[in-house]
């Protein structure tokens, strides 16, 4: 008797392109005054279980999320990041499995990969904010473009009207392949809901060719003090979270 | 204190006709037993597209079957989704009145607006408008039931003067409720004179706060229809003479239900809006936390009715002490418990637990 849907993907495949993480972040990473975009779209459900490892469960309907940060200030200086996640569940908790990310600044890319397990490449991340629309363009060297979208018709939201969900980043660690749980706090200063339209999406270029967007949902554009918390949990990708969650202590990664 | 059983019709995969029918037939048998042994109400939810978690997409049909197979138990249509894309208010009034007639005046009429994007998105409903729709439904439907001919000009729907038929058996109309998941909805209930139908597990402290505020506010209400000032809460129940057996069996279906619930895609996750201030699900407290330990299992809710009769009496006394008038129980999920165990649990509860409340209350109404 099967009760819940669970990922059926090959967990070891997550290691492809996953960063090596020798020492997880033990200090928070502050990104004050960060312009953020959070945009979700439903996707075709056919491969929803195959795209996730056995540790995770798909949402119904399956959804992926694009996040963009335009961080004017960080320990590495200003940078822009775009990431793609498959929204899912780990145990009872909502999570987003990172597919990959693009960062426009090499030092930030290296730091995000080595401390937080971002599977990241350097490239171009453009966030053009206008009065009535925001345009996003993401590209990596040698590729025509990974993602282009436009966010139209902004409507003001309250500061607490957006739900933010922690990420899981596949990473090769001394203890083995793990999903690094990255908890991100958002102290939202301004937020607007927009109509999200995808103009170009190269699923294979992001690293998961089976993602086919089907219904774009409203996106949020806002400004927040974003803080990536020190890592507290990692999970084995091959078993359910109830069995495979490991608390990160101060002594070892 | 009154007691109900609450059906989501959670169904195990694969979703074969045999499995679907087994869940329905088992639920019907549970209702017949509940009727025989003295439970007060059977509730059935309305949900759509919630694979595994709830296949109760046509509760009015299931409840009609319940009504025709029972003599006494009240029929809780809990709750009809009052959103224009999902139900038309005229059809809701007609169906509910028919069910009240068929059941011999046993209908309890619950209203809701849905908390998942899975459902609202599936009907292409606008989450920003659901509360407005619900408000219009609950103000219009009593008029459809009580006025010979009824007309309405609203923002959700309009109709010229017509006789909405049949009228319900209960006069002036069946008791009305609203499901309460997120804090604040109890005030919406109170302001309209509706019963407060808890469908998410709340802590005792939270329930006490809600109940106190609800009872205070309903005194000042502008009722949508005839006032129903009762407060009901949702609980899980498995009763067995052996506490350890009860805990093992009860926690198995409770955990399964919590896991299934947490996998729903709540509206607030998918659709940024001021209209949904909390996730709204049974597992919302766990799911709404930004981080947290994903290895943590579904917690044991406050005052859960899983145990031997004595411990369950004690648990329910705590709900009674915070002003709850009725406790509705989930008694299984996804057929985790064999049907015989569920039926035995219902019978034992009726035999050993109910008398502790009936005696003080002077018998059943």
Which of A59, A63, A215 minimises the CB distance to B263?
A59
Least confident window among A14-28, A121-135, B176-190, B342-356: B176-190
Q: For residue A191, which residues of chain B lie inside 8 Å, CB to CB?
A: 272
Q: For residue A165, which residues of chain B lie inside 8 Å, CB to CB?
A: 269, 290
- What is the tens place of the pLDDT at every residue in A64-102? 999 999 999 999 999 999 999 999 999 999 999 999 999
Handedness of CA A62, A199, A188, A101 (dihedral sign): positive
Name the β-bridge partners of A195.
A152
Query: Which residue, chain included where needed, has tokens 């774009």?
Result: A216
Least confident window among A49-58, B19-28, B94-103, B251-260: B251-260
Please give the share of chain B, as a percent, with pLDDT higher than 70. Answer: 93
ipTM of the complex: 0.93
Q: How confident is the model at residue B276 (pLDDT cuts 50, 70, 90)?
A: confident
Determine the pLDDT at residue B347: 98
Determine the pLDDT at residue B299: 65
Distance (Å, whole) CA A61 – CA A88: 10
Q: How confident is the model at residue B363 (pLDDT cuts 50, 70, 90)?
A: very low
- What is the tens place of the pLDDT at every residue in A143-200? 779 999 999 999 999 988 899 999 999 999 999 999 999 999 999 999 999 999 999 9
Helical segments of B263-289, H only: 267-270, 284-288
Determine the pLDDT at residue B294: 84
CB-based contact B269 A191, cutoff 8 Å: no
Determine the pLDDT at residue A118: 98
**A204-223 residues touching B, CB cutoff 8 A:** 215, 217-218, 220
Residue B53 clears pLDDT 60, i.e. is over it: yes
Residues in chain B: 365
CB-count burial class (<10 Å; 0-12, 13-18, 19+) for B219 = exposed
**Backbone angles phi and psi of B228, in degrees to 5:** -120, 110
Q: For residue A243, which residues of chain B lie inside 8 Å, CB to CB?
A: 295
Residue B38 clears pLDDT 60, i.e. is over it: yes
Determine the pLDDT at residue B289: 53
Q: How confident is the model at residue B189 (pLDDT cuts 50, 70, 90)?
A: very high
- Distance from the Cα of residue A113 to its chain's centroid: 13
Q: Which of B109, B38, B36 is nearest to B358 (CA)?
A: B38
Residue B283 clears pLDDT 60, i.e. is over it: no
* Optimal mutation site among A45, A49, A60, A61, interface B, most CBs of chain B within 10 A: A60
CB-based contact B269 A94, cutoff 8 Å: yes
Residue B315 clears pLDDT 90, i.e. is over it: yes
Number of CB pairs < 8 Å for A and B? 129
Residue B290 clears pLDDT 60, i.e. is over it: no
Helix (H), strand (E) at residue B187: helix B185-192
- What is the tens place of the pLDDT at every residue in A126-149? 999 999 999 999 999 777 799 999
Determine the pLDDT at residue B364: 44
CB-based contact B295 A241, cutoff 8 Å: yes
- What is the tens place of the pLDDT at every residue in B121-153? 999 999 999 999 999 999 999 999 999 999 999
Mean pLDDT across the stretch B177-197? 90
Question: All domains of chain A, ordered by start, with CATH?
Answer: 11-247 (2.40.400.10)
Class of domain B2-361: alpha beta
Q: How confident is the model at residue B282 (pLDDT cuts 50, 70, 90)?
A: low
Least confident window among A54-63, A217-226, A240-249, B138-147: A240-249
CB-based contact B294 A165, cutoff 8 Å: no
Determine the pLDDT at residue B281: 54
Write out B311-334 in H/E/C secondary structure.
Answer: HHHHHHHHHHHCCCCEEEEECCCC
**A234-253 residues touching B, CB cutoff 8 A:** 235, 241-245, 247
Mean pLDDT across the stretch B62-88? 97
State chain B's mean pLDDT as an integer: 92
Residue B163 clears pLDDT 70, i.e. is over it: yes
Q: Look at residue A3 and give its three-state secondary structure.
A: coil
Q: How confident is the model at residue A253 (pLDDT cuts 50, 70, 90)?
A: very low
Domain ranges of chain B: 2-361
Determine the pLDDT at residue B225: 86
Determine the pLDDT at residue A1: 61
CB-based contact A215 B121, cutoff 8 Å: yes
Q: Give the CA dihedral A169, A174, A175, A176, nearest 10 degrees.
A: 60
CB-based contact B51 A5, cutoff 8 Å: yes
Mean pLDDT across the stretch B260-273? 91
Residue B120 clears pLDDT 70, i.e. is over it: yes
Does the CB of B104 have a partner CB in chain A at under 8 Å?
Answer: no
- What is the tens place of the pLDDT at every residue in A3-27? 889 999 999 999 999 999 999 999 9
Distance (Å, whole) CA A118 – CA B81: 42
Does the CB of B295 have a partner CB in chain A at under 8 Å?
Answer: yes
Please give the share of chain B, as a percent, with pLDDT higher than 90. Answer: 80
Q: How confident is the model at residue B21 (pLDDT cuts 50, 70, 90)?
A: very high
Determine the pLDDT at residue B199: 76
Determine the pLDDT at residue B285: 45
Residue B288 clears pLDDT 60, i.e. is over it: no
């Amino acid at each position: 008797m099967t009760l819940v849907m669970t990922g059926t993907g090959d967990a070891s495949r997550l290691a492809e392109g996953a960063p090596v993480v020798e020492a997880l972040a033990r200090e928070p990473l502050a990104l004050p005054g960060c312009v953020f975009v959070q945009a979700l779209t439903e996707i075709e459900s056919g491969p929803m279980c195959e795209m996730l490892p056995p540790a995770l469960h798909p949402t119904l309907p399956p959804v992926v999320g694009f996040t963009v940060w335009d961080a004017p200030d960080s320990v590495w200086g200003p940078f822009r990041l775009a990431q793609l996640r498959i929204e899912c569940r780990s145990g009872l908790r909502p999570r987003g499995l990172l597919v990959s990310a693009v960062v426009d600044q090499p030092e930030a890319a290296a730091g995000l990969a080595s401390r937080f397990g971002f599977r990241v490449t350097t490239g171009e991340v453009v966030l053009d904010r206008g009065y009535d629309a925001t345009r996003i363009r993401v590209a990596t060297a040698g590729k025509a473009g990974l993602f282009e979208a436009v966010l139209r018709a902004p409507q003001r939201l309250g500061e607490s009207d957006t739900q933010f969900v922690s990420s899981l980043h596949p990473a090769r660690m001394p203890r083995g392949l793990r999903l690094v749980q990255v908890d991100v706090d958002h102290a939202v200063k301004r937020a607007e809901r927009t109509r999200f339209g995808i103009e170009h999406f190269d699923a294979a270029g992001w690293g998961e060719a089976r993602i086919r967007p089907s219904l774009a949902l409203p996106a949020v554009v806002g400004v927040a003090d974003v803080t990536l918390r020190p890592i507290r949990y990692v999970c084995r990708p091959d078993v359910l979270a109830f069995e495979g969650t490991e608390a990160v202590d101060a002594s070892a990664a | 204190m009154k007691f109900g059983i609450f059906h989501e019709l959670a169904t195990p995969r694969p979703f074969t006709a045999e499995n679907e029918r087994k869940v329905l037939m088992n639920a019907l048998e549970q209702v017949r037993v509940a009727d025989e042994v003295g439970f007060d109400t059977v509730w059935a939810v309305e949900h759509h597209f919630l694979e595994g978690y709830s296949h109760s997409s046509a509760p009015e049909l299931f409840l009609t079957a319940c009504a025709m197979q029972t003599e006494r138990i009240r029929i809780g249509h809990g709750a009809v989704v009052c959103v224009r894309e999902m139900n038309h208010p005229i059809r809701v009034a007609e169906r509910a009145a028919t069910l009240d007639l068929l059941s011999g005046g046993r209908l309890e009429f619950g209203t809701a607006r849905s908390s998942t994007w899975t459902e609202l998105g599936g009907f292409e409903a606008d989450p920003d408008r659901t509360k407005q729709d619900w408000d219009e439904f609950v103000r219009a439907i009593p008029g459809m039931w009580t006025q010979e001919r009824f007309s309405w000009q609203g923002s959700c729907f309009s109709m010229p003067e017509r006789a909405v038929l049949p009228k319900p058996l209960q006069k002036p109309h069946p008791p009305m409720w609203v499901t309460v998941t997120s804090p604040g909805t109890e005030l919406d209930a109170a302001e309209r004179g509706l019963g407060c139908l808890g469908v998410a597990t709340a802590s005792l402290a939270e329930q006490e706060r809600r109940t106190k505020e609800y009872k205070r506010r309903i005194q000042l209400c502008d009722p949508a229809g005839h006032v129903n000032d009762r407060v009901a809460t949702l609980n899980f129940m498995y009763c067995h003479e052996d506490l350890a057996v009860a805990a093992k069996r009860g926690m198995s279906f409770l955990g399964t239900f919590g896991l299934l619930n947490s996998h729903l895609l709540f509206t607030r996750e998918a659709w940024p809006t001021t209209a949904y201030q909390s996730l709204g699900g049974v597992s919302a407290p766990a799911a709404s936390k930004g981080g947290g330990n994903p290895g943590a299992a579904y917690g044991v809710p406050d005052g859960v009715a899983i145990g031997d009769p004595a411990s369950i009496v004690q648990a329910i006394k705590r709900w009674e002490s915070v002003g709850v008038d009725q406790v509705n129980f989930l008694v299984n999920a996804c057929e985790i418990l064999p049907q015989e165990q569920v039926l035995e649990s219902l019978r034992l509860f009726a035999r050993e637990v109910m008398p502790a409340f009936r005696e003080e209350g002077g018998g059943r109404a």
